Amino acid sequence: MIKTGGILAIIAGVIGLLAGFVTLFLGGLGSAFSASGFGDVVSLGWGGILFSLLVVIYGSIAISKPKPGATGIILSAILGIALGGTLVAILMILALVGGIMAAIGKPKDAPPQDQKRWHGMAIAAIAPILCAVFIGGKLIGSDNTSNNSTAAVGQTLQIGQTAQSDKFEVTVRNIQFTEVLGEGFTETRADPDTVFAVIEVMVRCVDKESRYYNSGNLYAEVNGTELKYDNSEVILGLDSPIGMINPLTEKTGFVVYKIPKDIANSKLSWTPGMDFDDVRFALTVQPSTQTAASIPAVASAAIAHDATPSSNNLAGVYISPNLGTLTIKQQPNSALEFSLEVVSELGNTGEATGVLISNGNLLIYKDTEMDCLLTLSPNANSINISQEGSCGFGMNVVADGSYLKQAQP
């Protein structure tokens, strides 16, 4: 029975090693995608490997030295059930049976009992206990790290502030709404009675290895009921921060949700990914003065909730999702000079430079020789450009669209 119990423990330990590596792989995969709770799975995977290895070692010892070996098997199996993950726990039950068999079995030539046997059993108990302390410490430390990272940023943040975790720093720059995203063959229209909520964010990976950033959830409070929008839209041609981010690098882009029009003016909040379950950005804006019929079809978010900025605030760099860059500089005489660079989908380019002329709430650039009329319509954080004429641009190069203002470095 002693030999059978030792062999049974060895078999359970070998298969347990494989199960531990599977648990470790799954935990590492989940951690790479920033899924919550998978850090604990990694620790359990290491626990499964360590305790399975101890079962194999003590199973071998049990064949020649039953009592110390059985003690090590039983302790390692019990701790493996508790700290080795579900897959390993099943095999540790089998190892526990083997340990009990080795403990109760009697060798054919049983030596007289002495103190050395008890010393051997005590020594055999040390390794499993040390492994349990190690794995338990990692599990407790993981919980404390998660709690501390949440407490550091608080519960509610405003637009312009930054949320921090042990993997990412996320800054919300703006939220706007539109019925149309993209232009040409990339144009995407919202369903009737819905709009796109477009959240401009900057995400920085602060971990020591690449991490996957996900979109988080948008929440709307309506008549005392909280609605959860956890499915973000994939918009062709629109930059997105979602995906793998290398250490100490950042991605700026737009997270897009399709919501009912009536929800756009309700109390909105957003969790910036699974690493920030207890952190929300307040996204509430003032009700829009535009009617559904007056919402323009633009390349990106264009329903502004603030008054049109003065010319003093127009200077800066504006980027269009359709590969266009608009730069406006204010001269000492208050004149607004601009440069515009546009690239088509085929790589053709177009450029225009000059002085903008104010016409009410619009800015106009006209060049008769180049058959060019550009009409710029400023919004809170963007400028819509409408082009008439060829403007001397390359084939299929059009400047039409919305250009979002970039943050000052």
Angle between helices 85-104 and 66-83 (to 10 degrees): 160
d(CA 73, CA 100): 8
Interior CA angle at 385 toward 381 and 389, to 5°? 170
d(CA 65, CA 59): 10
Check residue 147 and give its pLDDT. Answer: 45
The torsion angles phi and psi of 288, rounded to 5 degrees, stand at -70, 145
According to CATH, what is the number of the domain 156-294? Answer: 2.60.40.1240
d(CA 17, CA 46): 10
Check residue 128 and give its pLDDT. Answer: 66
Edge-first strand order for the sheet with 267-271 is 156-157, 280-282, 267-271, 217-222, 225-229
Strand partners, 135: none
d(CA 147, CA 282): 21
Q: What residue ranges do the domains of the chain occupy?
A: 2-152, 156-294, 311-405
Check residue 288 and give its pLDDT. Answer: 37
Check residue 302 and give its pLDDT. Answer: 34
The torsion angles phi and psi of 219, rounded to 5 degrees, stand at -120, 140
Q: What is the pLDDT along the chain (409 residues), one digit of tens a residue?
A: 778 877 888 888 888 888 878 887 777 666 555 455 555 777 777 777 887 888 888 878 878 787 777 787 888 788 878 877 788 888 888 888 887 887 787 766 555 555 455 555 556 567 667 766 766 666 565 555 444 433 333 568 888 888 888 889 999 988 888 888 866 556 788 888 899 989 989 999 999 998 888 888 899 988 888 899 988 887 766 788 888 889 999 988 889 999 998 888 788 999 988 778 788 898 865 433 333 333 333 333 333 333 334 455 788 899 887 778 999 988 777 778 899 999 887 788 899 998 888 776 788 888 888 888 898 888 878 899 988 888 888 888 888 888 988 876 4
Place of tokens 């039953």: 66
Interior CA angle at 368 toward 365 and 372, to 5°? 50
Check residue 287 and give its pLDDT. Answer: 36
Helix ranges (H only) for 65-206 are 66-83, 85-104, 115-153
Nearest to 69 by CA among 8, 132, 134, 136: 8
